[in-house]
Chains A and B, each alone.
Chain A
């Protein structure tokens, strides 16, 4: 980075908020993927004005800017591009307001999602978005990727809770969008554009989220299904019976085996799938609903239905779900976690296709996911040290994305497009929609400095 730019950044933010040491650049080169590119400089803003100053300087000098929360993403969206300024938002980590009167919270983007959940739960309130990385990801990162998680069937995704945003655009202009009300149709709902925009349109510096009352109880059931298709039908039957489950987590046979080998929980290994269903609400309601759920599971062809009677028993059943990630991490040197979403009725077909793709490419694929919302996480087991394996994994990944789209699904339910899926985006979107999206990008970011090359396809 040239001296003048560095001097200007230091002048605007203070020297201790600008890192250009080689060690600092090396530690801001990555996210949760295998991508790695060092930025030219890392800045650590603490106010909206700091962010505006960075984007003003960068826009004038046409320097790319890549915003970053905890860099836990799985699509490469937060990995710096060559010659860029890495915008570390982690230090804007204050919760500004929690209002019980308005049931909302105002937070800076660097707040850890779990910390926000804990803070509001102390007041009997609930912030439901719950991505698997909840302990380490930031609320700002969740907005930028419109993060989901296992609870989405009942509670929706991050974007469903955003009431207002402060956004800084390239050039340093600040937009205040939405506010503290649930209903708001004054003007266009521009804030929606920034939700899930992966840092390509602007930088969120303040977020107002809607909260709901905290459900007081939760109960869980776990069942083994000899036929995976029956598990999918069971979820439909549960909904038809008037119960919206908190989570409906599917584990295929390979996932079950990995968990069982790792934790020895006594899960049956001769069934095609396990289904974990949880309900939440008040104590009476969850007892009633879990009984309905267990009954439907049994009638849908499940074996070994375990129904928790208490919070402790629920915890024990959750152990299976929680063990998936570490169990799979131990199966192979590396893994490539995909995140396709298909209509729920198509899940059995999709799982069958995944098994075919796995066999055809000789790449083990374990499948788990939140089937209530159709979001599957096929995980390809591979080894980055072996080029031949990686080529087969790449081919398998391409094929499974195609299969998801062919079944009426989408390339990504919650991880985002980033870099990894960018070149597949025309498979998932129609050409006109893409052209308008490119136009939107050019409108907000005319010089193309905001996280360039991510999210949208090559022209």
Chain B
């Protein structure tokens, strides 16, 4: 190098890392510090052996493919709000590099549990499930708030309980006392706007359907199939008219519907909020209830996508319970979302017709991302003469509308950001009707309709079919 200009050979050199080893050395010396390759060290598990699997966390190759499909990352562009970031937090805790802080808990609960990440992960890591397992581990140290615990242990435990305990709210709404209260307290700082928001969002409690449903509802015309019906808590209390439509449509499609009494909640809300013991108990209760009918029915059908996803997951929830694993597998194998079931059995001669309308379909995350049921509801809607279906952007994997169980109540600003984005997408399609298949999404979209004042209707797939049944 002696023939090089002095200015080059004598320039001050930048800080340089000294290699300790050739390529793939485990550390590089760098100025004052050392840069290391992350070294997996099983045995340092802070969480205890079962939750979440250390090996499973290792499955993340940190490629970042989950970032662009994660709604909360999309809103923030912050790694802590991404699937890759959440798994890294869990791993950092297990590695002993990070304490199990309230901050970790907060980040785990920023997740919508929409499972969009699961659908694109190249090595197929079950990211959503790992985050829920992380919540379960955190729960031991930081229990959920008393309000949430009360809701999930006392109210949302089954259609019946939800019905009884929501009766007061129904009375209040019937007397318009909620609006009066919001008007009265509206001028208060902080509380006022929050209350108005809550009243605006709160679902109208309808007349519950549970007691109307006969143990056996006969098929209309020739009976072709027999199915069992699972009635979700939300469907019974908040959307009973949708379930009424479901029964009409099922029977119109030639299905005899049996509805066992005494159903428990599917367990999804509890599973989402780290109350795994409770959700597993509910699973066992429902399996035992439906078991005597399993041989007589072709499917267990429900019109709540959150429920159908959970019922299908029973096999996974109970896979390490020796007494229940086999029974859970048999149960889950029969579960069909109503859109999935109807698409399979719809009689070709059963015409569907309605006045011309442009519509768009919003995939519920728990139907599309969890169950990969995407084409079936669209194909069903495609059967409706007069209905023109337009594609909503970001449908595969679907971008969550922000409902996400109780997320819109616990994380309202994030949920509203996502909702406004969704409503802008809806407006761009020019559709007059937004169709979905899950009570949470339908409520959220209705809220969005009120916020954006768009002249649109929000309906469940079965409502559209019900209205289009040509006699």
- A residues apposed to B, CB below 8 Å: 19, 21-24, 26-38, 44, 64, 70-72, 79, 81-83, 88, 90-91, 93, 110, 112, 114, 133, 135-137, 325-326, 329-330, 333-336, 384-385, 390, 393-394, 397-398, 401, 419-424, 431-432, 435-436, 438-439, 441-443, 445-448, 450, 452-454, 456-459
Contact = CB atoms under 8 A, between A and B. Distances in A.
Interface in B44-96: 58, 61-68, 77-80, 82, 84-85, 88-89, 92
A410 to B, nearest CB: 15
B355 interface: no
Interface of B: 1, 4, 7-9, 11-19, 21-25, 28, 30-40, 42, 58, 61-68, 77-80, 82, 84-85, 88-89, 92, 97-99, 101, 103-104, 107, 120, 122-124
Contact of B62 (A30, A326, A431, A438): A30
A453 B32 CA distance: 12
A23 B1 contact: no
B62 A333 contact: no
B65 A27 contact: no
Given A21-B103, A26-B88, A64 B35 contact: no
A329 B123 contact: yes
Nearest to A453: B17
Given A27-B79, A442-B13, A453-B17, 17 more contacts: A22-B101, A22-B103, A23-B80, A23-B103, A26-B88, A33-B62, A71-B64, A81-B33, A83-B32, A114-B68, A133-B63, A329-B61, A335-B61, A442-B14, A445-B14, A448-B12, A452-B16
A419 B28 contact: yes
B64 A397 contact: no
Contact of B11 (A34, A36, A385, A442): A442
B124 A438 contact: no
Counting from the closest, the 4 A-B pairs by CB-CB distance are A82-B33, A448-B14, A453-B17, A36-B38
Given A30-B88, A35-B35, A432 B1 contact: yes
Given A23-B104, A82-B32, A453-B16, A70 B64 contact: yes
B23 A401 contact: yes
Contacts of B40: 384-385
Contacts of B82: 27
Given A110-B77, A452-B30, A423 B19 contact: yes
Given A44-B78, A81-B30, A329-B123, A420 B85 contact: no
A20 to B, nearest CB: 12
Contacts of A435: 1, 4, 8-9
Contacts of B122: 325-326, 329
Contacts of A458: 16-19
Nearest to B104: A23
Contacts of A71: 62, 64, 79
Contacts of A394: 21-25
A47 B322 CA distance: 58
A456 B28 CA distance: 14
B123 to A, nearest CB: 4
A452 B15 contact: yes
A423 B23 contact: yes
Given A27-B85, A432-B1, A329 B38 contact: no
A30 B63 contact: no
A82 B7 contact: no
Contacts of B39: 384
27 contacts: A22-B99, A27-B80, A32-B62, A33-B62, A44-B77, A44-B78, A64-B15, A72-B64, A81-B31, A82-B31, A83-B31, A136-B63, A329-B123, A333-B58, A385-B42, A394-B24, A397-B24, A419-B28, A420-B23, A422-B17, A423-B22, A435-B8, A441-B14, A443-B11, A452-B31, A456-B16, A458-B19
A28 B88 CA distance: 9
A346 B30 CA distance: 37
Contacts of B9: 435
A37 B35 contact: yes
Contact of A23 (B13, B33, B36, B98): B98
B331 to A, nearest CB: 29
A93 B77 contact: yes
A81 B62 contact: no
A29 B36 CA distance: 11
Contacts of B17: 81, 419, 422, 452-454, 458
Contacts of B23: 394, 397-398, 401, 420-421, 423-424
A433 to B, nearest CB: 11
A336 B35 CA distance: 19
B425 to A, nearest CB: 14
B7 A32 contact: no
A23 B11 CA distance: 40
Contacts of A447: 14
Contact of B67 (A29, A136, A336, A441): A136
Contacts of A133: 63-65
Nearest to A338: B23
A445 B33 CA distance: 20
B13 A384 contact: no
Given A22-B103, A23-B80, A27-B89, A442 B12 contact: yes
Given A23-B103, A397-B24, A452-B31, A90 B77 contact: yes
B93 to A, nearest CB: 9
A436 B8 contact: yes
B124 A329 contact: yes
Contacts of B99: 22
B15 to A, nearest CB: 4
Contact of A420 (B24, B38, B78): B24
A285 to B, nearest CB: 29
Contacts of B107: 23
Contacts of B123: 326, 329-330
Contacts of B13: 438, 442, 448, 459
Contacts of B101: 22-23
Contacts of B37: 33-36
Given A22-B101, A329-B124, A439-B8, A30 B38 contact: yes
B100 to A, nearest CB: 11
Nearest to A437: B8
A453 B27 CA distance: 12
